[in-house]
Chain A
Amino acid sequence: MITVENLHKSFGESHILKGVSTTFESGKTNLIIGQSGSGKTVFLKSLLGLFTPEQGTIYYNNQPYSQMTADERIELRQKMGMVFQGSALFDSMTVEENVMFPLKMFTNQSRSEMQDRVDFVLKRVNLVDAHNKLPAEISGGMQKRVAIARAIANKPKYLFCDEPNSGLDPKTAIVIDNLIHEITNEYNITTVINTHDMNSVMEIGEKIVFLSKGLKEWEGSNKEIFKTDNEAVTDFVYSSELFKKVRQMYIEERD
């Protein structure tokens, strides 16, 4: 579980996060949504410890990150998996080497144990024939799957994803969404996803945090987002005609 209390972050004169508080529970797919410039990426990178907030506290399983020692922080980071927007695969390594990387770094497993784990996670993300390919030789969707496999290889407790669907076709995007959702439930991981994709919001958003201008404007589940009257949320989520019609149908059905 991750608890965020009154998080503030500025860059020079611009105050990006203005006191965000929320809780992300384990075993749930938590989504952060909001317009470009709303502070989603800064929020996610603050959770990862890549940015140091000026004010506020982040608790990992009730332990404040700011009070952890350097060794405790290293230990915590080894329990984190991250899927970057551009996948961030090491381009000089093959798919297999990328997935094996955290195992080589942080475990004392034998080569055969590591190989078994790599085979297992690659199979789990439906990639069985790409072991020896370089990231540049596979498609964007496959790269995302390799990034997920690398993120879960060392059995993380926390999984962070920055725009995991960006640049993917709708069908692959759904496959990636479902995969993250299944893995979250299966391994009881605390998953936090930063997304613009409304399909993801509707499909896997067990907890949604809507950020606007550095503030938490709304939070709830994908079921509750249909019912909300918060204008900022409805303007953002139902900005397309299709979603407007879907919502209208839902309201009419409800009434």
Chain B
Amino acid sequence: MKYLHAIGSYFLMIGNVFYKPTKWSITKNLILKEVEDLIYGSLGIVIFISFFIGGVVAIQTALNIDNPLIPKYLVGFATRQSVILEFGPTFTSIIMAGKMGSYITSSIGTMRVTEQIDALEVMGINPLNYLVLPKIVALMLYPFMVATSMFLGILGGWAASVYGGYTNSADFIQGVQSNLIPFHITYAFIKTIVFAFILATIPSYHGYYMKGGALEVGKASTTSFVWTSIVIILLNYFITQLLLG
């Protein structure tokens, strides 16, 4: 019953986000600020993680190929497939559920605790539109971040393979280019858009409807991370089944 109530409240919140819009001149600045905080502010960690995870995927694949009949270019192929299909969109989103999600929940939660949301409401402003819509719009740039992650993952795989002596550059690049199914890219970016919406809204929900004080802000951030991750993983399964199954 509690979960049904939460799901209902979440969808009502989504509806209210688009109701009674704030002036465009204000919203525009809020969107730019969110792009800076959420997208630009997360690029560093995404670059770092993607490069090294791509490297690890390549090394693991190379180490598990001990049959001489399996071509060496498979390392590049496997790295590309892993990074594009799962690591780029899904794994990055789980990391972002922790990074962006806890930031969103704690910033909105703190505004709730310190009555800043009440202040917006008293002024006749729709707080959900003011606080959540700029985050949703800003996160529509999330596919660019995931594209960066994909590129750097493959680059990390190439660097680890070539400089680690597992394969040569030509074989790796051949693997990256072989048997590419363009729909896999489309599938990855469809997932990314859905995850971007989840990353903006579930943490906002947990921050906006939190009750209590500073301690509860911390608890709400943790709960938000758990639920954002669960929803991303479940949606990943359903989207994959729907589009590739």
Interface string of A77-108 (1 = CB under 8 A from B): 11010101110111100000000011011100
Contact B122 A86 (CB under 8 A): no
Contact B114 A77 (CB under 8 A): no
- A91's partner among B22, B25, B116, B121 (CB-CB below 8 A) is B116
Q: Which residues of B contact A242 (CB under 8 A)?
A: none
* Smallest Cβ-Cβ distance to B23: which chain A residue: A105
Output the residue of B114, B115, B119 with the most chain A CB within 10 A: B119
Contact B26 A105 (CB under 8 A): yes
Secondary structure at the A interface, as helix, strand, loop or mixed, is: mixed
Q: Which residues of B, 83-116, contact A by the 8 Å Cβ criterion? A: 110, 114-116
> In the complex the two chains form, what is the Cα distance from A82 to B32 in whole Å?
29
Contact A102 B123 (CB under 8 A): yes
Contact B122 A48 (CB under 8 A): yes
**Total A-B pairs, Cβ < 8 A:** 53
* Smallest Cβ-Cβ distance to A73: which chain B residue: B124
Contact A88 B124 (CB under 8 A): no
> In the complex the two chains form, what is the Cα distance from A18 to B183 in whole Å?
64
Contact B115 A86 (CB under 8 A): yes
Residues of A in contact with B (beta carbons under 8 Å apart) = 48-50, 73-78, 80, 82, 84-86, 88-91, 101-102, 104-106, 160
Does B190 interact with chain A (Cβ within 8 Å)?
A: no
Interface string of B7-32 (1 = CB under 8 A from A): 00000000000001011011000000
- B122's partner among A75, A77, A85, A105 (CB-CB below 8 A) is A77
Contact A88 B23 (CB under 8 A): no
Min CB–CB distance B15 → chain A (angstroms): 14
Contact A88 B20 (CB under 8 A): no
Contact A50 B123 (CB under 8 A): no
Q: Which residues of A contact B124 (CB under 8 A)?
A: 73-78, 80, 106
Assuming the contacts A104-B26, A105-B26, asked whether A84 and B123 have C-beta atoms less than 8 A apart, the reply is no
